[in-house]
Structures are given as structure tokens and as C-alpha cells.
Amino acid sequence: TLFFNKFFCVNISCKCHAMASPSLSGSVARKTLSAALTALMKRLGNLIGCGHDELTITQGATEALSLVANGLQLTAGDEVIVTSHSHGSALYPWVLQAQRRGIVVKQIAWPMPLSGPEQVVGAIGAAVTEKTRVLAISHVQYSDGAVLPITEICTFAKQRSILTVVDGAQACGSV
């Protein structure tokens, strides 16, 4: 991202904006950059198990999590569940939405070390109500490196029509 921002100064999702850089004038250069970005997105999608068209590259996890929190149309009373082990970048965008829109941010805790997936899913289940719209959780907790059972968590949430926002910043290097 730093390379892209330094030399091209456009959003990657724009593929190849004609004004990206004087050095990129001409359709051959734009096609080359577009092909390279598409290839990169495909490799990243394969790594994390999604299609390249489901990815957006940002400057980092903080920006990505903030974009999600600010982009959802939550209203007063809607609940977002986070954990006591959430990184500030995964927590504060929701706190800001609570101040702006009146959503409710519920923070849950579990004992450490974790005894198994059922302990985590059980704690989440105990916090869910009919007003829960979002579960914002880390795949790998930054505080202690615990790997959470993200498949089970996402399955649980999906069965209840709850959107899961996964902070995967530490996951690729840890899982």
C-alpha cells in the first residue's frame, strides 16, 4: 500500500485512474498495473479463502475496521458485541458510532486461558439479544495471542443473521 500511495496516490479499488501519475500515462502502463493488482488480489483471496472481488485493500486494519463501522447503517438501540480483548482499532470505531448514532456497544469477557470453542461461543451467545446486529471480534487476540474459533463464531452469528466483522490483522501470521 505504501508503494501504491507514494507513487500513484489513488485508491487501489479504482484500478488505474488515468490521473494516478504522469509516469503512468498510456494504456499499456495502466493495463500492466491493473493486471498486477488483480493478480495480487487473487493471491490474497486464495490465502484467506474468498474471491478477489470481495477484497478491498486499505492502508491498514485500523482504516479497514473504521470504514466498516462507519459504513454500516446502524440505528439507535442496535447492538454491537465486542470483547474485552479487542484492540483499540477494533473497539473505538464502534464507541464513536454509539456516541453519534446511539448504538449499544456490549463488551464481553472470557477467562484466560480458553478451555475450548464452546466457551467462546457460549459467552457470545449469552450476550446476543434480538437487537444484536454486529459481532466485531479478532481472529487472533492481540493481547495474548489466543486463536479464537472463528469458523464456529461466524456460523453461530450467521444462523442468527448477525453480521460478523473479523479483525484478521494478526491471523495471517499466526494461523
Place of cell 456516541: 99
Instruction: Look at residue 29 in the predicted model and tell me its pLDDT.
Output: 67
Weakest mean pLDDT among 10-19, 20-29, 56-65: 10-19
Which pLDDT score is estimated for 78? 98
What is residue 27's predicted lDDT score, i.e. its pLDDT? 66
pLDDT the model gives residue 122: 92
List the beta bridge partners of residue 83: 108
Contacts of residue 165, Cβ cutoff 8 Å, sequence gap at least 6 = 65, 68, 69, 90, 134, 135, 136, 137
C-alpha cell, 55: 477484497
pLDDT of residue 173: 66
| Between residues 149 and 160, the one the model is more confident about | 160
Determine the pLDDT at residue 101.
Answer: 95
Strand order in the sheet with 104-108: 104-108, 79-83, 132-138, 163-167
Residue 5 clears pLDDT 90, i.e. is over it: no
The answer to whether 23 and 29 are in contact (CB under 8 A) is yes
pTM to 2 decimals? 0.74
Give the pLDDT score at 1: 43
Query: Cα dist. 158→68, 72, 91, 93, 152 in Å?
Result: 17, 17, 21, 22, 10
Give the per-residue pLDDT at 153. 94
Alpha-helical regions (H) of 10-116:
27-48, 61-71, 88-101
Q: At residue 3, does pLDDT exceed 50? A: no
Spell 13-44 as b/e; 16+ CB within 10 A means b.
eeebeeebbeebeeeeebeebeeebeeebeee
Higher pLDDT, 33 or 20: 33
Write out pLDDT tens, residues 36-90.
888 988 998 898 888 988 888 788 888 989 999 999 999 999 999 999 888 888 8
Alpha-carbon span 150 to 166, nearest angstrom = 8
